[in-house]
Amino acid sequence: MSQPRLHQQLSLVFETKNTEEVSRLFAHPDFDSFMKKHALEIPTKELAEAFTHTSFSHEFNFPHQERLEFLGDSILQMVLTEELYKKFPGTKEGHLSKLRSALVNEESLALMARALGLGDLIIVGKGEFIKKLYQESTVLADTFEALLAQVYRHHGFEFVKNLILGWLNEFIPNAFSENFLDQYDAKSKVQELSLKKYKKLPRYSSQDKADQFEITLWINEREILKGIFPSKKSGEKALAQEALKKELI
């Protein structure tokens, strides 16, 4: 009989509180499959630590990912700082900082985490599992950073650097393009244009639609665009980008 997938195993841990089931969780073959796919060699239990949320640690007294997040964030900053410095010679420090912030923001990291399937490997506490916290952008972004820390610790800087740049190229192919910052900062630009033209801030309204949201963008108290989105934050950003693209302001 084959072993259940990691989140099925996690459900068994909650049901049984059995230490053997917890041990199976931290040695789960889904971690080994992930490492094989990405040519990683990390002790399975150490890789699992990068995926362990504090909520599980509080319930079962296992090491969690927070210290690894701290290290992973520094590694990511260093890799991107070096790459931006090389790709944009002559660009002022302030603009480089904005470019880096756009690349290391929660949404960008969560996008890559989702593409890599990290959510399926995240270990959370029982209440958080029911709420599907492992799908939240904040948790995904933190886990992505923790993963980078373990890769760095076991493979070194050049390896993790190439991995980060490879994933960026695959999942955010325009990451180092000149217009990436415009796309990232769309809401700020819409605000700037609205204030300049109408002396009024743009407004976003929302209505619940089952488990989604209908978001509307208003400029000068006039409805500009609307759409259905999984979250208010993503919807507002998408509408701002579309408004700029279609020159609706």
Here the CATH number for the domain that contains residue 113 is: 1.10.1520.10
| Cβ count within 10 A of residue 158 | 9
Average per-residue pLDDT for the chain: 91
pLDDT tens, 64-75? 999 999 999 999
Residue 45: pLDDT band (50, 70, 90) is: very high
In DSSP terms, 216 is beta-bridged to 205, 226
Looking at the fold, whether 118 and 196 belong to one and the same domain comes out as no
Residue type (1 letter), 1: M
CA–CA dist 51, 143 (Å, integer): 6
Looking at the fold, whether 152 and 189 belong to one and the same domain comes out as no
CA–CA dist 133, 137 (Å, integer): 9
Least trusted range by pLDDT, from 212-216, 226-230, 232-236: 232-236
Q: Return the residue matching tokens 């099925």.
A: 8
Looking at the fold, whether 204 and 159 belong to one and the same domain comes out as no
Least trusted range by pLDDT, from 22-36, 111-125, 193-207: 193-207
Looking at the fold, whether 100 and 191 belong to one and the same domain comes out as no
Least trusted range by pLDDT, from 80-94, 133-147, 191-205, 216-230: 191-205
Contact 46, 32 (CB under 8 A): no
Return the percentage of the chain with pLDDT > 90, whole number.
66
Looking at the fold, whether 23 and 56 belong to one and the same domain comes out as yes
User: What is the tally of structural domains in the chain?
Assistant: 2
In DSSP terms, 52 is beta-bridged to 123
- Sheet strand arrangement including 203-209: 203-209, 212-219, 222-229
CA–CA dist 122, 142 (Å, integer): 11
55 or 187: whose pLDDT is higher? Answer: 55
Q: Which two tokens stand for residue 197?
A: 């033209």
**Could you tell me if residue 70 is inside a domain?**
yes
| Nearest residue to 42 via CA among 53, 55, 26, 57 | 26
| Nearest residue to 70 via CA among 167, 142, 130, 127 | 142
Asked if residue 144 has pLDDT above 80, the reply is: yes
Looking at the fold, whether 19 and 98 belong to one and the same domain comes out as yes
Looking at the fold, whether 17 and 129 belong to one and the same domain comes out as yes
In DSSP terms, 215 is beta-bridged to 206, 227
**Could you tell me if residue 225 is inside a domain?**
yes
> Average pLDDT of 72-95?
94
Within the chain, strands assigned E span 203-209, 212-219, 222-229
Looking at the fold, whether 55 and 82 belong to one and the same domain comes out as yes
State the pTM of this model. Answer: 0.78
19 or 34: whose pLDDT is higher? Answer: 34
User: Which positions are annotated as active-site residues?
Assistant: 73, 145
| Percent of the chain as helix, strand, coil, to the nearest 5 | 65, 10, 25
Top-ranked range on mean pLDDT: pick from 36-50, 86-100, 103-117: 36-50
Return the percentage of the chain with pLDDT > 70, whole number.
98
In DSSP terms, 205 is beta-bridged to 216
Looking at 161, 183, 205, which one is the last position of a domain?
183
Contact 28, 45 (CB under 8 A): no
**Could you tell me if residue 84 is inside a domain?**
yes
**Could you tell me if residue 1 is inside a domain?**
no
> Average pLDDT of 74-98?
94
The residue range of the domain holding 207 is 185-245
